[in-house]
Structure 1
Amino acid sequence: MTFSWADFQAAEPDFAKTVQQRFEAYTHHVLATVRKDGSPRVTGLEVTFRSGELWLGMMPRSRKAQDLMRDPRFALLANPGSGTDMGGGDVRVGGRAVEVTDPETVARYTGEAGAPQPFHLFRAELTEVVRTSVEGDRLVVRTWHPGEPLRTVSRGND
């Protein structure tokens, strides 16, 4: 089961807000895709949140775009920022990237984002959202999957 960003926001509004703020704190993030030979590829990427969707845009014929067109599975890690404090925690989104080629949608996205043409545009269908943070002396991991409640695991020196 996969969900759009809007579905995630409706299911877990506070968690979605925290995750989106973490992504919006920095421009560049890390995208993991699956290469043709099955090995992972890790590359930089900018993302946007617009019209209830998480959008991934990339240069035409880029390796990461080719990876996603062949195998849409991805993981996206929010930029951890500078230093060692991990201010907003470590945030990761996993799912499937669906290429959007509808001319009206692409034109609307291009107009709103000012994206140069040509490019590949993908809409993220979420299968997992994870935030790992340190709260006091505890490591706290929050995980959401479509159709399931938010799960929190906390570990520390008890």
Structure 2
Amino acid sequence: MTSTDAASALKSPWSRVAETAPEFAAETAALFRAFPNKTLATLRKDGSPRLAAIELWMTEEHAVVILMAQSAKARDIRRDPRISVLSGSSGASDVPVWPTARISGRVAPVAEAALEASLLEAAGVPAEFGAGSVFLIDIDEVVITRIGDNTMETVLWKDGRLRHIGSN
């Protein structure tokens, strides 16, 4: 399968979230842009979780993860493409509501040189960063959680639909 085929074969690229839930997608993107470091969860060879700080880029079409090609987390996702990425959060005591966003799904490597170069350029990453370092997320679900004083609200996007799955 070529990279173009891999990108076009994604069942749920970021553009599907934006098309089916535009306001939710805008809030999610803003939460991911608010803090430079995100937390990536992958699965190690033995099945235990690995958490690592990463950056996530969002284009109009894709949620993009760029990793050092030989890193442990890159090896993890080549072995098992399931991931979750959590946005940053202020956690400041003077903020009344602490929202976070999470994107979960499977990654697909970008092997087509032109697409990889375009995504690296859009992210401001030098092209010499290396082949095999750019991955697109095929999104299974997106969650926004808002925690306030004695309240928690969770909104889930899955299969093109939004659901409020918890609040108090």
Unmatched tracts of structure 1, length 5 or more: none
- Identify the residue that residue 118 of structure 1 maps to in structure 2: 130
Aligned 8 A contact 2:42 2:51 in 1: yes
- Per the TM alignment, residue 67 of structure 1 is displaced from its structure 2 partner at its CA by 0.5
* TM-score for both structures, normalised by structure 2: 0.84
2:144 paired residue among 128, 131, 143: 131
115-124 or 8-17: bigger deviation: 115-124
Aligned residue pairs, count: 155
1:6 to 15, 22, 26: 15
SS of alignment partner, residue 89 of structure 1: strand
Measure the CA separation in 2 of the matches of 1:89 and 1:155.
Answer: 13
Offset at residue 115 of structure 1 (A)? 1.2
1:95 to 80, 86, 105: 105
**Unaligned stretches of 5+ residues in structure 2:** 1-9
Query: 1 CA distance for matches of 2:21 and 2:60?
Result: 17
**Does residue 78 of structure 2 align to residue 65 of structure 1?**
no
Alpha-carbon distance between aligned partners in 2 of 1:155 and 1:113, rounded to the nearest angstrom: 35
Cα deviation, residue 106, structure 1: 1.0
Does structure 1 retain, via aligned residues, the 8 Å contact 2:32–2:88?
yes
Displacement of 1:90 after TM fit?
1.9
> In the alignment, is the contact (CA less than 8 A) between 2:96 and 2:148 conserved in 1?
no
Range 67-76 or range 47-56, more displaced:
47-56
Q: Taking structure 1 as reference, are residues 111 and 134 closer, same or farther at Cα in structure 2, changes over 3 Å only?
A: closer
Q: Which moved more, 1:132-141 or 1:59-68?
A: 132-141
Name the CA shift for 1:44/1:136 in 2 (closer, same or farther; >3 Å).
Answer: closer
2:50 maps to which of 41, 57, 62: 41
Once the two structures are overlaid, the 10-residue window that deviates more, 77-86 or 46-55, is 77-86
> TM (normalized to structure 1)?
0.89
Q: Relative to 1, partners in 2 of residues 1:109 and 1:132: Cα closer, same or farther, differing over 3 Å?
A: same
CA distance in 2: counterparts of 1:30 and 1:62, whole angstroms: 15
- 2:33 matches 1:20: no
Shift of 1:87: 4.7
Identity %: 28
Alpha-carbon shift at residue 153 of structure 1 (Å): 3.2
CA distance in 2, matches of 1:133, 1:32: 20
- Residues 86, 110 of structure 1: alpha-carbon distance in 2 compared, 3 angstrom cutoff: farther
Deviation at 1:111, TM superposition (A): 2.5
Q: Secondary structure at the match of 2:55?
A: strand
Q: Identify the structure with the greater helix proportion.
A: 2
CA deviation vs aligned residue, 1:18-49 (integer Å, no higher than 9, x gap): 00000000111000000011000000000111
CA contact (8 A) 1:31 1:76 kept: yes
